[in-house]
Homo-oligomer: A and B are copies of this chain.
Amino acid sequence: MGEGRLSELGALAKASGEKAFLVYDPFLKGSETLEKIIANLKNNGVAVIEFNDISPNPRNTSIDAGTELCLKEKCDVVVAIGGGSAIDSAKANALVATNGGECWEYTERAGEEVTRPTKRGLPLIVVPTTAGTGTEATSFAVVNNPAEKRKCTIITPYIYPDIALVDPLIMTTIPSMITALTGLDTFAHALESYISVNATPISEMLSLYSIELFAKSIRKAVNEGENVEARDQMALACGLGGAAIGTAGVTLPHALGQPLGALTDAPHGGTLAACFPQIIEWTLPYAEDKLSKVAGILDPSLDRDLSDTEKSSQLPRILRELYQDLHVDVSFGKYGLKESEIEALADLCFVGFLQDIKAHPKPVTREDVIYLINKCM
Contact = CB atoms under 8 A, between A and B. Distances in A.
Q: Is the interface of A mostly helix, strand, loop or mixed?
A: helix
Contact of A209 (B1, B205, B236, B300): B205
Interface string A213-242: 000000000000000000000001000100
Interface in A290-312: 300, 304
Contacts of A201: 1, 236
Interface in A224-266: 236, 240
Contacts of A208: 209
Nearest to A210: B205
One complex includes copies of this chain to the number of 2
A253 B29 CA distance: 54
Interface residues of A, number: 10
A313 to B, nearest CB: 21
A128 to B, nearest CB: 16
A217 to B, nearest CB: 12
Interface string A1-23: 10000000000000000000000
A73 B300 CA distance: 60
Interface string A192-215: 000000000100011011000000
Contacts of A209: 205, 208-209
A304 B1 CA distance: 31
Centre residue among A209, A236, A240 by max chain B CB count within 10 A: A209
Contacts of A300: 304
A208 B240 CA distance: 15
Nearest to A240: B205
Contacts of A304: 300, 304
A205 B208 CA distance: 9
A240 B208 CA distance: 15
A101 B1 CA distance: 39
A209 B236 CA distance: 16
A304 to B, nearest CB: 7
Nearest to A208: B209
Interface in A171-204: 201
Contacts of A205: 205-206, 209, 240
Interface of A: 1, 201, 205-206, 208-209, 236, 240, 300, 304
8 contacts: A1-B201, A201-B236, A205-B205, A205-B209, A208-B209, A209-B209, A300-B304, A304-B304
| Shortest beta-carbon contacts, A-B, top 4 | A205-B209, A201-B236, A205-B205, A1-B201
